[in-house]
Amino acid sequence: MLAAELIDPMLPALKLTDTVGQALEWMQEHRIGQLAVTDQGAYKGLVSEDLLLDVADDERPLSDVMRLYEQVYVYENQHLLEMLSLVLQNPLEVIAVISDIKEFIGSVSANELLKQFAQELGVQEVGAILVLNIDERDYSMAEISRLVESNNIKIVGSYFASAAYGMPDRSRLTLKLNRRDITPVVSTLERFGYHIEAAFANVPIESIDQERLDLLLRYLNT
């Protein structure tokens, strides 16, 4: 999904001529702590509720107050994952979206971005989650998919996390499956030498040591 498709038309953009008081009113109305600021169609950064609350004069124009992340934005054709990278690097509540000629188009809520990312991973689908501890040299999604699907189970989402430098055997592959009872899949993967680091399902899985079922994927629990 691209940035242009994620723009929230309900999120307003402020102007440099707007006052601190106006900006705070809009933030309270939309229950958000940041809003984009524009000037004649050009993106001029974000204003933050925390900083605006420290301004003594509510009538002060936004042109006179500190703005953040003027160089942090995405183009309308950038992918959801590129946007997510910005959110991980910066404490953003909104992401500004601009056109190829650098005109401001709209804003994307970071919360909605994370919800969309969760949907892309298949989080809302009913089914179990498997976490494989894997050496990058052995990583083949085609092979793993074949083994999973040999048990009439589908992978509805996946996420690969590379290991730290020099530790290739510590990479993790997270699989979201379309069934809760994944005991056959666990048995198949272990038979072919894959190490199941953790599993989350509503049906007990007998072939895994319960002490290894303590890995909680926090991004899937928000």
Please classify residue 112 by burial: count the beta carbons closer than 10 Å to its beta carbon, then call 0-12 exposed, 13-18 middle and 19+ buried. middle
Q: Which residues pair with 173 in a beta bridge?
A: 132, 160
Note whether 132 and 194 are within 8 A (CB): yes
The stretch 173-201 carries a mean pLDDT of 89
Distance between CA atoms of 203 and 128, rounded to whole angstroms? 9
28 vs 212, higher pLDDT: 28
The pLDDT value recorded for residue 121 is 66
The stretch 99-107 carries a mean pLDDT of 94
Give the number of C-alpha atoms closer than 13 A to the C-alpha of residue 174, restricted to the C-beta side.
Answer: 18
Least confident of 30-34, 36-40, 136-140: 136-140
Closest CA relative to residue 182, chosen from 138, 149, 209: 149
The stretch 125-147 carries a mean pLDDT of 87
Distance between CA atoms of 186 and 33, rounded to whole angstroms? 44
The pLDDT value recorded for residue 92 is 92
Task: Give the domain ranges of the chain.
Answer: 3-118, 122-220
The pLDDT value recorded for residue 158 is 85
The model's confidence at residue 62, banded by pLDDT at 50, 70 and 90, is very high
The pLDDT value recorded for residue 213 is 36
**What is the CA angle 86-43-51, rounded to 5?**
70
Q: Does domain 122-220 have CATH number 3.50.30.50?
A: no
The stretch 54-75 carries a mean pLDDT of 95
Q: Average per-residue pLDDT in the chain?
A: 85
33 vs 158, higher pLDDT: 33
Report which listed range, 142-146, 168-172, 200-204, is most confident: 142-146
The pLDDT value recorded for residue 169 is 61
The pLDDT value recorded for residue 212 is 37
The model's confidence at residue 164, banded by pLDDT at 50, 70 and 90, is low
Cα dihedral 142, 145, 149, 155, rounded to 10, equals: -140
The pLDDT value recorded for residue 156 is 87
Q: Is residue 49's pLDDT more than 80?
A: yes
120 vs 59, higher pLDDT: 59
Q: Is residue 127's pLDDT more than 50?
A: yes
Q: Does domain 3-118 have CATH number 3.10.580.10?
A: yes
pTM of the entire predicted model:
0.68
The pLDDT value recorded for residue 1 is 81
